[in-house]
Structure 1
């Protein structure tokens, strides 16, 4: 059987390894849209702050890992997929055509650029690839003027490296007026904003960005800011253009079923590009998490081999180190229409805990500055544990969540 995997991120590499483990004689081709060996995008901030070098970002230690597994590794971009009743072909931009019996789409996502002039100017970059990391690192030095356009999760991941380099950082949140809006309540965002400002970051939450001029210079309707580097961190979108014409259902990502199958026979999807099952709700969403991508890849590979393994769903969870202040979000942190929410905030010490309940079950949470709560919260949500009398105690004092977890598990 011939297997083709498009995308060499966590999902693609894990899928290739799983296929080889269970099908030693099958043909496996892994296509990477970037040069070099497969690497982890989550390592980019550590490259920027000097904690690791590029070699440390590789997904596997051995440079011969894929060769040792007899996996064909290609550097090219997928242009078009053709599908048929028994398989199909993938056309690459280097002229190669790969036949497949089973195809896995694990192409992840790419940064979206803001709809303003000047995003293609020199010293205007995204923070997504190793090449981006090289361009950013070349500019980072004490006193360098850096503007981060966008204040979502991608921006949050990169901020620590920029601040620790001694750069003078400005973060433009946009018209939402709130940083990290996709993973934080206004209370939590305000806490994180004050933390950043106390560390010299200029957080701009008002005004509209009009354009980027040579220099580079960011022009807003309220001010203009000169910079040595402008980083675009305004969101991402799934890499799916090559699937046009296949009939694959695409919403916020490629829609898959519990076996990671798309709506097209013999085509599967995994990782950030896939709209997979959410553990908390049972709905189908994109979870851009490395552990989720890895498990997607494993489950997809087994199903590609005819082993009917169902994916039970991933828990939405974000962990962010905002220049030293650690925050976590779990599950339905916004709460539910019929549930109950409790929260406690200590502004002076940058501490915040929010717990969300449905009946007597914990369904979501936010913590800022409370890392010791993390394991207990995740355990209670994932186990769908009925809290019983502990529910009312936690509503009164969310800080008892570890006590609840220990007692309920002992019981």
Structure 2
């Protein structure tokens, strides 16, 4: 049995190890599109903060780890899949066959069509190569940086850039920070916290264009013009061309960012963090549903037999609705990978639905978004806010079941919120208690979650 895994991020690595543990004799090939060893993108901010070196981003630190497990590593970028022959084609012209295929190709940054977005000092922060360029551009204390995007990933990058000592301006199209994760008040609260930490945040604004800053060329003085005319007459070269300008080193030249407000900002670098999209283009022409990510069943199998998918490339069934949901967070990726791997190896494993969970540390302020944080039609909600202390909580109910929550500065409730939502616990009279006193979550959990069958969902 040959297992082929496309993608060597956390999902691919966990899947390969799970298959090997389940089947000690099968063939496993793990393919990554980058030349580096398998690494975690989530560790890149720590690299920029200089808390770790590049080896600290590697998913497995022991030398020879994959070789000892009999997992073959291959560098390649898939360009096509032929399910009829069970063959994958790669960019370099090579091919690989498979008996079972796992697609864990992840996602990539969205690049808005901004004029000047292809200049050398404009980068995403997604790969180790990106990190090397950003580190070089911001090695000077106080380097001016403009970052586009204040979403979940953007806030993580923002913190790393701030800790590098950059002079940072963050531009966000939404009306608040982390708009897909936070309510209006919560996102505004995070913005207030960040600005008090010395970061300039501009919301409801976009970048119109990025230009190389033109160096000012001094006008020739009258004395220099006279001397030039004398030299031309003496040499007989009145049409002597000006010396060719020295080649521009883009790494040394500042950029000018023009905002939709008309404001112009001079900077050394622009970092783009405008969201991600799944890497599914190489599957076009197959019968796999790739709408908003690869659609799978609860076994993480696609509509094509023997082809599975896991991680940021997947739109897996949502915990509550059962509809395909693109979550792109590591805990879900790992859970999906384990389920897919067990099924590939002949076991029976099921995902009981993806639960959106995002917990974010923004310069010491912990915020979280869980489940259906915007609520559902016909549901009830309660909100408690303390802006001066940067404390906030919002609870969303469907009947007497907690289905979503948003919190800031209340870390003691994170585990309880997840347990209540994921367990779909019937709160009964405790729902009415929480509507009046939303901070009594721990009491509600202890009272309801331990009832027989409470966590059966």
TM (normalized to structure 2)? 0.87
Aligned to 2:418: 378
Contact 1:31 1:76 in 2 (8 A): yes
TM-fit CA distance, 1:410: 5.6
Aligned to 1:280: 320
Q: Which of 110, 113, 124 pairs up with 1:112? A: 110
Aligned to 2:42: 42
Cα deviation, 1:104-139, whole Å, max 9, x if unaligned, reads: 110000001011111111111101111111222223
Aligned to 1:320: 360
Residue segments in structure 1 that go unaligned for 5+ positions in a row: none
Aligned to 2:165: 166
TM-fit CA distance, 1:65: 1.0
Superposition map of 1:94-173 within 5 A: 94-140=92-138, 141-173=140-172
How far, CA to CA, are the matches of 1:341 and 1:354 in structure 2? 7
Q: Which of 182, 185, 192 pairs up with 2:183? A: 185
Structure 1 residue 24 corresponds to structure 2 residue 24: yes
Aligned to 1:70: 70
Cα deviation, 1:239-269, whole Å, max 9, x if unaligned, reads: 1111121121111101111111112222111
Contact 2:123 2:270 in 1 (8 A): yes
Aligned to 2:56: 56
Contact 2:145 2:166 in 1 (8 A): yes
How far, CA to CA, are the matches of 1:148 and 1:326 in structure 2? 21
For the residue of structure 2 that corresponds to 1:155, the secondary structure is helix
Structure 1 residue 263 corresponds to structure 2 residue 303: yes
For the residue of structure 2 that corresponds to 1:182, the secondary structure is coil
Structure 1 residue 339 corresponds to structure 2 residue 379: yes
For the residue of structure 2 that corresponds to 1:73, the secondary structure is strand
TM-fit CA distance, 1:292: 1.1
Cα deviation, 1:10-56, whole Å, max 9, x if unaligned, reads: 11111111111222222111110111211111111111112222111
Contact 1:6 1:107 in 2 (8 A): yes
Instruction: Indicate how the Cα distance of structure 1 residues 47 and 405 shifts in structure 2: closer, same or farther if over 3 A, else same.
Output: same
TM (normalized to structure 1)? 0.96
- Aligned length in residues: 408
TM-fit CA distance, 1:88: 1.1
Contact 2:176 2:204 in 1 (8 A): no
How far, CA to CA, are the matches of 1:40 and 1:209 in structure 2? 29
How far, CA to CA, are the matches of 2:450 and 2:70 in structure 1? 48
Aligned to 1:217: 256
Instruction: Indicate how the Cα distance of structure 1 residues 283 and 133 shifts in structure 2: closer, same or farther if over 3 A, else same.
Output: same
How far, CA to CA, are the matches of 2:257 and 2:176 in structure 1? 19
Q: Which of 321, 343, 347 pairs up with 1:307? A: 347
TM-fit CA distance, 1:396: 0.7
Cα deviation, 1:184-208, whole Å, max 9, x if unaligned, reads: 1101111011111111111112444
How far, CA to CA, are the matches of 1:98 and 1:409 in structure 2? 48
How far, CA to CA, are the matches of 1:40 and 1:399 in structure 2? 35
TM-fit CA distance, 1:342: 0.2
Cα deviation, 1:167-224, whole Å, max 9, x if unaligned, reads: 11101112x3222111111011110111111111111124442211123221123211
For the residue of structure 2 that corresponds to 1:319, the secondary structure is strand
Instruction: Indicate how the Cα distance of structure 1 residues 410 and 249 shifts in structure 2: closer, same or farther if over 3 A, else same.
Output: closer
Aligned to 2:434: 394
How far, CA to CA, are the matches of 2:23 and 2:420 in structure 1? 37
Structure with bigger gyration radius: 2
Task: Return 345-354 or 157-166, whichever deviates more.
Answer: 157-166
Cα deviation, 1:73-108, whole Å, max 9, x if unaligned, reads: 011111111111xx5111112232101111111000
Aligned to 2:231: none
How far, CA to CA, are the matches of 2:319 and 2:54 in structure 1? 34
How far, CA to CA, are the matches of 1:287 and 1:210 in structure 2? 29
For the residue of structure 1 that corresponds to 2:180, the secondary structure is helix
Task: Return 16-25 or 104-113, whichever deviates more.
Answer: 16-25
Aligned to 1:239: 279
For the residue of structure 2 that corresponds to 1:378, the secondary structure is helix
